[in-house]
Amino acid sequence: MKQSLQLKLGTQLTMTPQLQQAIRLLQLSTLDLQQEIQSALDSNPLLETDFDEHGNESHQDQNTPSKQQADTKSESTATEPTEAEGDWNSNIPDDLPVDTRWDDIYGSTSYSGGESEDYAFEQRNAASETLQDHLQWQLNLTPLSDEDKRIGETLIDAVAPNGFLDSSLEELAAGLAVEEDEVLAVLKTIQQFEPVGCGARDLRESLLLQLRHLPEQTPWLGQALTVVGQYLDLLGKRDFRQLSRRTRLSEAQLGEVMRLIQTLTPYPGEAFGGEEPQYVIPDVIVSRKEQRWIVELNPETTPKLRINDSYASLIKRADNSSENNYLRDNLQEARWFLKSLQSRHETLLKVASCIVEKQQGFFEQGPEAMKPMVLANIAETIGMHESTISRVTTQKYMLTPRGVFELKYFFSSHVSTDSGEDASSTAIRALIRKLIDAELPRKPLSDNKITQELDKQGIKVARRTVAKYRESMGIPSSSERKRLV
């Protein structure tokens, strides 16, 4: 076999470590970015937090743009090089490219005032009490025999997060090797614990326990006990006509009974446990000043960084010692990190400003004025790839006069209207909610009726589309929304 040399031309996407770092920083959320910055500060002695003369962290540092519009670029984050630094800065390009086809490289990837800081910190970091812990605490305070406490502990372990008993008394009695009557006696004691209704075996028993715990002189208590005890199925179906006939109550009287029942808690354990609250830190702040919408980055989201001049001045141009090489490498890494961080800030600000410009109707009039917009609209305007816009808008939040929204909230599909213009699906959802909020409780709007109301406004949507939007907002059907009061 004869060996030969061949010359071929081709194109290939090359990802430098610096570009990979810029891409990684761009798609990080605020909390993840703070951890990344802290890691860089811990590992690189050439990076430090910028403090002012009073020892406070500076919020006008060069690596954070402030109060600018979409096409405004901020100052460079890197400090000017000293003579001792040599020409290292010349080896780093001024423009760091962050736009590329991401999918080629990666897969899809409150402050409440009024309390002291120490108290607020303890509240945020304290472990939430579970329903079992609360019931166990009350069991320990109840004078029971050792055997009854053992039964009580087993019953508490069998209580589900919603407050209902998960296992039957027969199964629990067999597991404890005791009589079923003994288990029932202890269960009745636990059912009197707070929250009242815990340990109930079904919804009817839970509601009855709560009603019996009310004072005897409570108005309409007897009628409520009758409705819940005998006609809960009719109440669930909201068959008020049949319910009124069975209980021999007038519509007004039945309305009073319903008011009392609505004060009860269907699932007594829902006040405990659950998911930990997720705190959102806005990346971008939008405010209106002098009849203009101003977009600026939140200065509190990231520490302000700079190059440590003392260490940088120790670098010698012709020294190849290990100490000098260590400082030189860290200086280069620090400069690249600052450039990547600056690029992230500029890209985020540019995308957020473009969103505000295209969705001014939302900021001035609300969700009903939201315009249809897709990633391609922003990508075309600012000259970036759609996948880049997708990463920039994921887990990034905007603080507006109307609340805090994820940037992805402003993107939605479109529906045609009679006027020839397109309506945003977000705007249609807002209109549906507005119609439902204004409906009569006695005669809620059906999906077909909502479709007709939207048609009067020139918006053509199918009934199944209305049903899909309604369900996505967690709004029950018209039969479930029917109220007497």
Q: Is residue 274 predicted with pLDDT exceeding 60?
A: no
Percent of the chain's residues with pLDDT above 70: 79
Helix, strand and coil in the chain, % to nearest 5 = 50, 10, 40
DSSP string, 397-436: EEEETTEEEEGGGG-B-EEEBTTS-EEEHHHHHHHHHHHH
pLDDT score, position 136:
92
Cα 379 from Cα 395, distance rounded (Å): 18
Q: State the SS3 of 143-179.
A: CCCHHHHHHHHHHHHCECCCCEECCCHHHHHHHHCCC
Q: Is the pLDDT of residue 54 over 50?
A: no
- Domains of the chain in start order, with CATH, are 131-271 (1.10.10.1330)
More confident residue, 189 or 74: 189
> Once rounded to an integer, what is the mean pLDDT over residues 4-9?
79
pLDDT (0 to 100) of residue 485 = 54
Does pLDDT of 94 surpass 60? Answer: no
Largest CA distance in the chain: 106
CA pair distance 388, 23, nearest whole angstrom: 9
Compute the radius of gyration of the chain from its Cα atoms: 32
According to DSSP, the β-strands at 403-406 and 47-49 are: unpaired
pLDDT of residue 214: 92
Model-level pTM?
Answer: 0.60
| Residues 6+ away with beta carbon under 8 Å from 18 | 96, 336, 339, 340
Kindly report which listed range (116-125, 320-329, 373-382) carries the lowest average pLDDT score: 116-125
Query: What DSSP state is assigned to residue 64?
Result: S
pLDDT at 461 over 90: no
pLDDT digit string, tens, across residues 386-416:
888 888 888 899 999 988 999 998 988 766 6
Q: What is the pLDDT of residue 412?
A: 80
**Which one has a higher pLDDT value, 336 or 457?**
336
CB 354 within 8 A of CB 367: no
pLDDT at 76: 35
- The mean pLDDT value for 172-191 works out to 91
Query: What pLDDT is stored for residue 275 in this prediction?
Result: 58
Counting beta carbons within 10 angstroms of the beta carbon of residue 120, is it exposed (0 to 12), middle (13 to 18) or buried (19 or more)? middle
